[in-house]
Structure 1
Amino acid sequence: MMYSAGKRVRRRLCGGLAALAFMASATALASPAPPNLTVDKSFGKTAGWSIGYSEALGGCLAAATFGDGTTIWFGLSAVRGNAYLAFTNPKWRSIAAGDQYDLRLQAHGQRQGHGRWGGTFVGFERGEARGLFQSGLRDNFVADLSNAGAITVEFEGRPIAKLSLVGSTDALDAVLGCQKEFAVEKAKSTGPAPARRDDEGSGSGRSSQGTGFYVSEIGHVLTNQHVIDGCSAITVTRVGSAPIKARLVAADATNDLAVLDTDRATPSAPPLAMRARVGESVYAFGFPLNGLLATTGNFTVGNVTATAGLGDDTRHIQVSVPIQPGNSGGPLVDQYGNVVGVIVSKLNALKMASLTSDLAQNVNFAIKTTIALNFLEANGILAPLNTRTSDPMTADTIAERAKAFTVRVNCN
């Protein structure tokens, strides 16, 4: 698998976005100069992908190497702008650093369907290997990439590599967590107040975004205190509706809860169950990674893994449901459609990696509904209760119901 003599591509991009939408537009061409693709700090592996940080590119990356020697790289770069994709192989000796090459990618897999994309990559060297690199990809490129089961790389009409993307969703989670961690560290070194936990709350009047859900038919919304901390103006937005103003009714910094009033009646307040059971299926609906993932909300599935949180904190339950920044304050729902927790935080995987040389996966936490109910009752709000007398629902039904009572919370 070796490239023939590299020719400089002078024509415009042909083809375009299909099911696999990697680029924002035809203006996202190859970088004008070869990249310095370094890994200066490693954070171990997750789902077969190596996770690291590149000083030269100013961001975090994931890489996986295959039997034919090809390595696929994707990551986020403050230097090159947005996301990037790269391929390297020691056998590709004909690639010249700085030259541009026309590549085609064919996506495969049931999760993504089938899609083709054509684009221009720049050649570069990395040690004994030669590679192809494209940057300036749109923000949600990595999310699209992780949804493909595999890709075939074609050069001059012939396939040169077929690469599995199994585990890339977990790798994307790790890259985003890494990127956020380094953003916090940079903020610490340059002066602004750092985030207090793995959250979206900004404090000090800066804008932030999280999730909340209705807890009364007269329009009360429950969220995390850290989501609205320091806000001068708050709005909540239901999928398909315009933002509406909300005012803070009460906040509990100790238990990280806050309740808002929207003055807007709603029939969508879900019942709250008194407890969650270890092993039962649970679901999260929220609005993570603002500007990167879908604005229509994100639905994830997992299990209750423990009925206590970090350090045996009895206020929390531990869940394996994947969550991201922006999920904070959202509902954790059981298979009967009841809310059994309020999403609050995730384990700091990078700090754990520095201690254990491995990345912790899907170790996330929610505030128990008993804590939330006590908080609401203390502020004169009686949320509906449920004793689980109904039959279990299908996941798609739970997702539709959760979408109806969950809102995006914006703080300015």
Structure 2
Amino acid sequence: MRSALAAAFGLLFAGAAQAGPVLNIDKSIEKVSGWSIGVSKALNGCLAAATYQDQTTVWMGFDGDKDEAFLAFTNPRWKSIETDRVYRLAMMTGRGRWKGPFTGVERTNERGLYASGLKKGFVLDIARAGAIDVIFEQKSIARLSLSGSSDAIDAMNDCQKAVVEAKASAGKEGAKAEASPKKSGGSSGTGFFVSDVGHVLTNHHVIENCSEFYVAKFGVPSIPARLVASDAQNDLAVLGTGIEKPVVPAMSLRPRIGESVYAYGFPMLHLLAASGNFTVGNITASAGLGDDTRMLQISTPIQPGNSGGPLLDQYGAVVGIINSKLNALNVALAGKGDIPQNINFAIKTMIALNFLDANGIPPTVGTKSPTPLDAASVAEQAKLFTVHVTCR
């Protein structure tokens, strides 16, 4: 296996002995497991970078136009490396030893070694290796733990998809709502109880194109549910579970701009805690994109998988249903300027109440606290009535 990988390495670096573009994250997207993810204008694609204690920075990225990848190492102490000179570099991992040509590069106060034209599969293998020993001129110049690099690769893939979508929609609307991710024909999101006979409210886009539905509270096995009603225009759906007398939150119809609001849900379960995530923000506008009066604009951080979850006020009452977030990367790539921050949206409770009433599901009137609660108390209440929704 090692000899096969070594042979593959030589093929992967064919034509790679070229000076690479300046390594730089022009637009930062997020941080994942210690790696910075962003967009490189020079590459017209996405990259990830992580700096270690010995000042070595590892760079991995995708070339947006050529569907290829690159790998680079830089360090401010590597002053002897000559720009544009071709060097032979070896890398050792638990999976094998690889050799190939790297080009000397310089960026700000650092110098380094850069290889382009790589197959994405090779970069994925390096990322999954767990640790790497970089050998230069028969000496080890860096021994690096690649902890978190697989998560970084996943984030880069998501970033690259957004870059491709942004190019395809150039000249079109720059803002796009992010739905819950669908994997292997399934979907994952959040919901909450709205009746004393176990009805669960969620988003239409969470259960769209599914025929089997399940709900679960953390620590309790999933149970089957049935689709009772769905409204694609208002992005709402309600599931029947048969659970009797669940905890049901109060509904508030008087959200105020500036008030603190909280989101509880089950985002990105392949990365984040399965017990649920709780985030804090504010209502920043009384309407959504294009002055859509059905929506609230909020600064509360949300991620794919939060869709359909409750947006709560300081009294533990639901003021909205988490719906979408502004696709900041698409906006930035469309030339709108800086990356927008914390621009997210929730459906107003009045819209949800009208939807439930129209489908013969009078919601149970929950009880809200007579006095404001601290954030920890709101989170404890949210755990009682919020559920993880999956379907396939």
TM-score of the superposed pair, with normalisation by structure 1: 0.64
Report how many residues are paired: 329
Distance in 2 (alpha carbons) for counterparts of 1:53 and 1:179: 11
1:2-401 to 2 correspondences below 5 Å: 44-45=27-28, 51-52=38-39, 60-63=46-49, 71=57, 73=59, 88-92=74-78, 98-100=89-91, 127-128=105-106, 129-130=111-112, 178-182=159-163, 197-200=177-180, 206-353=185-332, 354-385=334-365, 390-401=370-381
Distance in 2 (alpha carbons) for counterparts of 1:409 and 1:85: 39
Query: Secondary structure of 1:344's partner?
Result: strand
CA gap 1:407/1:137 in 2 versus in 1, 3 angstroms: farther
CA gap 1:278/1:242 in 2 versus in 1, 3 angstroms: same
- Measured after TM superposition, the shift of residue 101 of structure 1 is 7.0
Whether contact under 8 Å (1:246, 1:261) holds in the other structure is yes
TM-score of the superposed pair, with normalisation by structure 2: 0.67
CA gap 1:89/1:304 in 2 versus in 1, 3 angstroms: same
Distance in 2 (alpha carbons) for counterparts of 1:209 and 1:257: 15
Distance in 1 (alpha carbons) for counterparts of 2:177 and 2:369: 37
Whether contact under 8 Å (2:179, 2:206) holds in the other structure is yes
Q: Which amino acid is 2:78 matched to?
A: W
- Measured after TM superposition, the shift of residue 314 of structure 1 is 0.3
- Measured after TM superposition, the shift of residue 350 of structure 1 is 1.9
Distance in 1 (alpha carbons) for counterparts of 2:352 and 2:76: 57
Q: Which amino acid is 2:388 matched to?
A: R
RMSD (Å) for aligned C-alpha atoms: 4.7
CA gap 1:245/1:44 in 2 versus in 1, 3 angstroms: same
Runs of 5+ unmatched residues, structure 1: 1-30, 103-119, 142-154, 161-170, 189-195
Whether contact under 8 Å (1:211, 1:286) holds in the other structure is yes
- Measured after TM superposition, the shift of residue 375 of structure 1 is 0.8
- Measured after TM superposition, the shift of residue 281 of structure 1 is 1.1
Q: Which amino acid is 2:38 matched to?
A: I
- Point out the more displaced range, 286-295 or 71-80: 71-80
Whether contact under 8 Å (1:89, 1:130) holds in the other structure is yes
Whether contact under 8 Å (2:262, 2:300) holds in the other structure is yes
Residue by residue over 1:363-385, the C-alpha shift from the partner in whole angstroms, topping out at 9 and shown as x without a partner, is: 10000001111111222222244
Larger Rg: 2
CA gap 1:209/1:44 in 2 versus in 1, 3 angstroms: same
- Measured after TM superposition, the shift of residue 184 of structure 1 is 5.9
Distance in 2 (alpha carbons) for counterparts of 1:235 and 1:409: 6
Runs of 5+ unmatched residues, structure 2: 1-7, 82-86, 116-122, 131-138, 145-151, 170-175
Distance in 2 (alpha carbons) for counterparts of 1:280 and 1:233: 38
Q: Which amino acid is 1:89 matched to?
A: N
CA gap 1:211/1:73 in 2 versus in 1, 3 angstroms: farther
CA gap 1:288/1:70 in 2 versus in 1, 3 angstroms: same
Whether contact under 8 Å (1:275, 1:370) holds in the other structure is no
Distance in 2 (alpha carbons) for counterparts of 1:381 and 1:101: 62
